[in-house]
Amino acid sequence: MSTDPTNPDHQHRRQPYDPPVEVGEAAERLARRPWPATPLRPELEVSFEFFPTATPEGAARLDHCASELAPLGPSFVSVTYGAGGSSQDRTIKTLTQLKSATSLELAGHLTTVSASREETLEMVDRYLDLGVTHIVALRGDQPADQPPTPPDGFRTAAELVTGIRSHAGDRVEISVASYPEVHPRAVSPEADLDRLKEKIDAGADRTITQFFYDNDAFLRFQDRCHKAGISVPIVAGVMPIGSFAKTSNFAARCGAKIPSWMPELFSGLDDAPEIHQLVAATLAAEQCRELAERGVRNFHFYTMNRPELTAATCRILGLRPRNQSPNQQTGASPEHRPAGAGEAGRSAGSALRRGA
**pLDDT (tens digit per residue) in 102-142:** 999 999 999 999 899 999 999 999 999 999 999 999 998 87
How would DSSP label each residue in 73-95? --S-EEE---SSHHHHHHHHHHH
Around Cβ 171, how many Cβ atoms within 10 Å?
11
How would DSSP label each residue in 185-209? T-S-HHHHHHHHHHHHHTT--EEEE
Mean pLDDT, the chain, integer: 83
Assess whether 335 carries a catalytic annotation.
no
Question: Dihedral, CA atoms, 32, 34, 37, 38, nearest 10 degrees?
Answer: 60
Among 53, 39, 40, residue whose Cα is nearest residue 4: 53
The DSSP symbol for 331 reads S
% of the chain at pLDDT higher than 90? 68
State the catalytic residue, choosing from 22, 25, 28, 49: 49
Residues 135 and 2: their CA atoms lie apart, in Å, by 15
247-256 pLDDT, tens digit each: 999 999 999 9
288-331 pLDDT, tens digit each: 999 998 999 999 999 999 999 999 999 888 887 876 544 444 33
How would DSSP label each residue in 110-146? EE-TT--HHHHHHHHHHHHHHT--EEEEE-----TTS
The pLDDT assigned to 28 comes to: 57
Residues 347 and 204: their CA atoms lie apart, in Å, by 40
The pLDDT assigned to 32 comes to: 52
User: In a 3-state reduction of DSSP, which class is residue 290?
Assistant: helix
Residue 95's region, left for phi above 0, alpha for psi from -120 to 50, else beta, is alpha
How would DSSP label each residue in 54-74? -SHHHHHHHHHHHHHHGGG--
Q: Which structural domains are found in the chain, ordered by start?
A: 28-355 (3.20.20.220)
Among 176, 99, 94, residue whose Cα is nearest residue 135: 176
> Which of residues 269 and 141 earns the better pLDDT score?
269
Q: State the burial class of residue 126 (Cβ atoms within 10 Å of its Cβ: 0-12, 13-18, 19+).
A: middle
H-run or E-run covering 299: strand 298-302
75-111 pLDDT, tens digit each: 999 999 875 555 889 999 999 999 999 999 999 999 9
Task: Give the chain's radius of gyration (CA, Å).
Answer: 20
User: In a 3-state reduction of DSSP, which class is residue 52?
Assistant: coil
The pLDDT assigned to 1 comes to: 60
In the predicted model, is pLDDT for residue 17 greater than 70? no
In the predicted model, is pLDDT for residue 212 greater than 90? yes
The pLDDT assigned to 24 comes to: 56
